[in-house]
Structure 1
Amino acid sequence: MSFPRYAAYRDSGVAWLREVPEHWGVMQSRRMFSVRSEPAQPSDQMLTASQRYGVIFQKDFVEMEGRRVVEVIMGKESLKHVEPNDFIISMRSFQGGLEWSRLRGSTSFHYVMVKPVKCVHPPFFAHLFKSAPYIEALRSTTDLIRDGQELRYSNFVQVSLPVVPSEEQAAIAAFLDRETAKIDALVEAQKRLIELLKEKRQAVISQAVTKGLDPNVPMKDSGVEWLGEVPEHWVIGAIKRFCKVLDGRRIPLSAQERGSRSGDIPYYGASGIIDWIDEHIFDEDLVLVSEDGANLLNRSTPIAFVVRGKYWVNNHAHILKPMDQNLIFWAERIETIDLRPFVTGSAQPKLTIEALANVVIAVPSDESERSAIESYIVQEVQRLDELVLEANTARGLLLERRSALISAAVTGKIDVRGLVSQPEPAAA
């Protein structure tokens, strides 16, 4: 959908705004906002400013995120008071702009609060301060990465702001509230679709490697509690029955040693490639399984994966050579196992080779069936991954449209006044 432009424009004289509608003005930000420097009040609840949720009560942030935040235990007198319609400059404002507070409370002394002085309709500036051109202008006021400094009021006042009639600010804000809500709903739908596709991907793999491809196959009791029923013709045994262990060929290298042997050969650890060196100790396709690390318990990344070609393996990954070359089948079969009962240690979880080798699994007795399962997994994973890619692309385009729409509206590149119901004039 295309939007109308204003009838006439003029050069704003401000690089990030470029041309603006003829009736708009430009003003130094220090004349429109001032610093709020009041100390926290006894009744203030602690607030958290985040790019994801905006400004919310800290207790709500902890509940939504499921994790603790750094709490002020001593020196509470250093906390700052926040009023509704303040804007908060945080350590991450150079990435995500300023956060608009609708709440009264207190926040860390690390934050800078600015309060409206004149020519400010807060909902309009809530969008402007999150717009891409404004954030880029704010970022240009300092080299944060090089200097390691935080954004301060001194950075904020270097970026001039547009002066827009109050009713027009309200109309633009109402338009953006409505349109971004529509886009956000579509983005959320794509996000949920991606989650469902990833769940489907895992379910497809798990079903194939634990039950096979025939939904009507006769089943039998495995005799192993955590395995449950398995296809009647499958064989049951410890992993060491089906895979040869090659851990004796592992050679760990220190970071210093690797630094002096830089090359194009992958150097594998518990969760994948951790470096590149100039030599290899393996030149065959095998399966690696994590030996230690928190990932054995939280499973945020695969713990079993196929490696091919030339490579080096350190002593943090077990090396398995399966009885056939259906390596994807074997890696995915191991990946589906709940290894928590076999892992020792909590500070540093560890899966010994003795524990791994003795884990009991059920697999097809016929190599051709294992091959068929692998082919099916490859085909289905490719199909589902393509759908995930399409959904991610759609989500990205929606987010780009959202950003472009906000930027165009708050800088006056489009005229949306006629696209919303005009607000009621203020009572005299």
Structure 2
Amino acid sequence: MSNYKLVEPNDFVIGLRSFQHGISHSTVRGIVSPAYTVLRQTGSLDPQFVKHYFRSILLISHLANITQGIRQGQAIDIEAFQNLSLPVPPLEEQRRIAGFLDAETARIDRIVAASQRQSELLNDRLVESFRALTTTAGSERPVATGIPWMPRMHHDWKLMKVGRYFKTSSGTTPRTSNPAYFDGNHFWVNTGDLRDAAVESPKKTVTDLALADYPTLKVHQAGSLAVAMYGATTGRVGILGVPACVNQACCVLSEMGPVSSLYAFLWFRGHREEILRLASGGGQPNISQDLVRGLRIPAPSRVDQEVIVSRGNALESATARQRALQVRRVSLLTERRQALITAAVTGQFDVSTASGRNVTDGVSA
């Protein structure tokens, strides 16, 4: 590691993508690989001011103009960087600007964190709503189910195993070394396609030859429910929006009458965490077809299921709108943060009087 470089507190590090995000400020002692450049300041510079300056739009635009290479190979021309002329105010003014920006960016960061937390809570509330809709549904005298992780259900509903309500099956993966099996006329769903939504346009397809050579590779009807049994999306579900085959990591539930796929879709989403606790496996849990078939799901009449699905869809639409507003808020706050930094470090306004604040020697009153 003799070519690695030492980084001290208050050093700055030019990374491989600094021309996109600015130059990073270090608060600790450590090392970086030869691919990075370490800047150690000299002269009358306040480290906090420089930290903000190096993340400003002004500096990033300079860095973008002195990059070499294309795409992933892009890197900053260090010699050109050394020749940049960066106007900075006197040290006392640097400290005032840094104090103002420290306070303002911290405030914006707190609002961003709160907005992101609100988005998480919106999702938690939606899942809890699905759980309630598909178990007790507001019953004033719910009955016991005998299931520890789903203790009660509506008094008028039936509790049956999934295997009694649905026909279950999975698929397979054709030999990848044979290109004749892929890019055909049949959609082929993988667990990555299951995102708790309708699967309208799976990325992969298979051919008639694949279906002929692999008996377990069958085309399932649109409207069937698919559950991810293992992989990064274990426990997630999707409604097939088109006829499709699946790979071996997907369990497909085909309706047999009493329970609709759309209702089961809500129930699986409302109880994913509990189902995952039943799964086997080490670092990443696996769900088997036997486990899915053995799950007991409470369900009302088909008419009432339609009502519950309609309510669930309305809740999801409302949650999506709220989440979009939160995302928009975070985006605007991020833009404001960046614009504020750039305006302050380039002297576009007097930070001593900005926002009604009195800022002296880096401390905002």
Q: Which residue of 2 aligns with 1:221?
A: 144
Residue identity over aligned pairs, in percent, reads 26
> Alpha-carbon deviation of 1:422?
5.9
Q: TM-score, normalised by structure 2?
A: 0.80
| Corresponding residue to 2:241 among 308, 312, 317 | 308
Q: Which moved more, 1:144-153 or 1:226-235?
A: 144-153
Q: In 1, distance between residues paired with 2:139 and 2:60? A: 55
8 Å contact kept, 2:99–2:359? no
Partner of 1:139, secondary structure, is helix
* SS of match in other structure, 1:210: coil
1:271 aligned counterpart, secondary structure: helix
Residue in structure 1 matched with residue 322 of structure 2 by the alignment? 387
**Which residue, 339, 344, 349 being the options, matches 2:275?**
339
1:275 aligns to 2:275 (yes or no): no
Counterpart for residue 199 of structure 2? none
Q: 1:200-349 maps to which residues of 2 (within 5 A)?
A: 200-212=125-137, 214-216=138-140, 218-247=141-170, 250=171, 252-255=173-176, 262=183, 266-272=187-193, 275-277=203-205, 281-296=219-234, 303-322=236-255, 323=257, 326-335=260-269, 336-337=271-272, 338-340=274-276, 342-346=278-282, 349=285
Q: How many residues align?
A: 339
**Shift in Å, 1:208:** 1.1
Q: Contact 1:112–1:152 (CA<8 Å) still a contact in 2?
A: no
How far did 1:355 drift?
2.6
Query: Secondary structure of 1:164's match?
Result: coil
Equivalent-residue separation in structure 1 for 2:283 and 2:361 (angstroms): 62
Residues 264, 90 of structure 1: alpha-carbon distance in 2 compared, 3 angstrom cutoff: farther
**CA–CA distance in structure 1, aligned partners of residues 331 and 226 of structure 2:** 34
Amino acid at match of 2:289: I
Distance 1:287 1:141 in 2: 52
Provide the C-alpha distance between the structure 1 equivalents of 2:104 and 2:263, rounded to a whole number of angstroms.
47
Q: 1:112 to 1:196 in 2, by over 3 A?
A: same
Distance in 1, matches of 2:286 and 2:359, equals: 65
RMSD (Å), alpha carbons: 3.2
Q: Deviations over 1:354-387 (max 9, x none)?
A: 23212222222x1122111111111111111111
| Alpha-carbon displacement from aligned partner over 1:122-144 (angstroms, at most 9, x marks no partner) | 22111111113322332332346
* CA gap 1:259/1:162 in 2 versus in 1, 3 angstroms: farther
Quote the residue 1:358 is aligned against. Answer: 294
What SS does the aligned partner of 1:339 have? helix
CA change 1:402–1:324 in 2 (3 A) is farther
With over 3 angstroms needed to count, the CA separation of the structure-2 counterparts of 1:255 and 1:133, relative to structure 1, is farther
SS at match of 2:39: strand
Deviation, 1:78, is: 5.5
Unpaired segments of 5 or more residues in structure 2? 195-201, 209-218
2: CA distance, partners of 1:259 / 1:378: 40
Cross-structure match for 1:123: 48
Structure 1: gaps spanning 5 or more residues: 1-74, 297-301
State the alpha-carbon separation in 2 of the partners of residues 348 and 194 from structure 1.
26
TM-score with structure 1 length normalisation? 0.69
- What CA distance in whole angstroms lies between the structure 2 residues aligned with 1:414 and 1:257? 65
> Does 1:160 find its partner at 2:85?
yes
C-alpha distance in 1 between matches for 2:286 and 2:311: 32
Question: What residue identity is the alignment partner of 2:8?
Answer: E
Match of 1:70 in 2: none
Query: Are residues 373 and 153 of structure 1, via their aligned partners in 2, closer, same or farther at CA, if it must alter by over 3 Å?
Result: same
